[in-house]
């Protein structure tokens, strides 16, 4: 369940909302969604320290991922220092296909539909490096759970692509993939599709592809920021629409 996106710039309000949602639900396996915005990163640390499982959403590149991962680590470290259970679940959701939709018309044809996977590969390398770091190994030895990298937005938006384009490419150890139903059905029915090949942990191919996009004058960092800002605005629009529908139906029922 996500916190209200109207709180996106309110770190304290977001952290309190996460605690309230967990308390109201009373379910240990409920993850509360918090956007990985600058204010969200502050809220994530506080929510993890409070023992609330968190799905960090709206992450678009490795820098945003590392910021959210740092918040998770700090929350766990504070729990250990306070004598609390370090086992608090979390995932960090990296959005993939939106990169290709955003860059489709501004890059040469041979580069289309390759930026999302390049960013995923670079982020996966950062993820594996973090899991191998002494800082994480110390927390793992104390019983902490890894904040797993989650692939989000894995449905193909370009009709020229096979439905399982991203899913096949994102097979990687220690990750989660949220798959739209249409994509899942295509993956299940396509007997001719090649077996997924695990993504390389070193990210060398990703670096080479990102360099090609830089040569094509794509500012990866600026685009990541824009995608996150636009994503937050879309969350607000959907949230407002949902609340409007609820008010309308509640009024009709009354």
Q: What is the pLDDT of residues 81-97, one digit of tens each?
A: 999 999 999 999 999 99
d(CA 192, CA 202): 29
Confidence band (pLDDT; 50, 70, 90) for 197? low
In terms of Cα–Cα distance, which of 44, 154, 161, 160 is closest to 91? Answer: 44
**C-alpha distances out from residue 154 to 27, 69, 184, Å:** 28, 21, 10
Residue 244, pLDDT score: 96
Between 204 and 234, name the one with better pLDDT.
234
Which of 48-52, 64-68, 75-79, 204-208 bottoms out in mean pLDDT, i.e. has the lowest?
204-208
Residue 250: CA count within 13 A, CB half-sphere = 6
Residue 185, pLDDT score: 86
pLDDT of 184 above 90 = no
pTM of the model: 0.92
Average pLDDT (126-154) is: 97
Between 174 and 196, name the one with better pLDDT.
174
Q: Is 33 a catalytic residue?
A: yes
Average pLDDT (9-19) is: 96
pLDDT of 198 above 70 = no
Strand partners, 150: 93, 176
Select from 1.10.150.530, 3.20.20.70, 3.40.190.80, 3.40.50.970 the CATH code of 5-237: 3.20.20.70
Residue 32, pLDDT score: 98
Three-state DSSP at 63 gives: helix
**Other C-beta atoms lying within 10 Å of the C-beta of residue 212:** 16
pLDDT of 169 above 70 = yes
pLDDT of 115 above 90 = yes
Going from N- to C-terminal start, the domains of the chain cover 5-237
Average pLDDT (193-208) is: 72
Cβ atoms 74, 45 nearer than 8 A: yes
Cβ atoms 94, 63 nearer than 8 A: no
Residue 44, pLDDT score: 98
Residue of 33, 138, 237, 249 with catalytic role:
33
């Amino acid at each position: 369940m996500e916190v209200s996106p109207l709180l996106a710039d309110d770190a304290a309000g977001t952290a309190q909302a996460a605690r309230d949602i967990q308390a109201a639900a009373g379910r240990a396996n409920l993850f509360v969604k918090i956007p990985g915005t600058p204010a969200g990163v502050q809220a994530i640390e506080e929510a993890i320290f409070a023992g609330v499982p968190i799905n960090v959403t709206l992450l678009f590149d490795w820098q945003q991922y590392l910021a959210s991962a740092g918040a998770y680590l700090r929350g766990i470290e504070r729990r250990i220092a306070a004598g609390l259970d370090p086992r608090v679940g979390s995932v960090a959701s990296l959005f993939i296909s939106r990169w290709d939709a955003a860059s489709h018309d501004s890059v040469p044809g041979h580069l289309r539909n390759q930026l999302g996977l390049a960013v995923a590969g670079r982020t996966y390398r950062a993820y594996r490096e973090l899991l191998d770091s002494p800082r994480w190994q110390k927390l793992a030895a104390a019983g902490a759970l890894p904040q797993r990298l989650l692939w989000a937005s894995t449905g193909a938006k370009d009709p020229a692509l096979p439905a399982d384009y991203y899913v096949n490419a994102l097979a990687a150890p220690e990750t989660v993939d949220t798959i739209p139903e249409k994509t899942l059905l295509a993956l299940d029915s396509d007997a001719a599709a090649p077996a997924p090949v695990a993504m390389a942990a070193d990210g060398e191919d990703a670096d080479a592809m990102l360099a090609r996009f830089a040569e094509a004058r794509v500012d990866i960092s600026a685009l990541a920021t824009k995608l996150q800002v636009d994503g937050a605005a879309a969350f607000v629009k959907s949230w407002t629409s949902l609340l409007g529908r609820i008010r309308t139906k509640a009024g009709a029922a009354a």
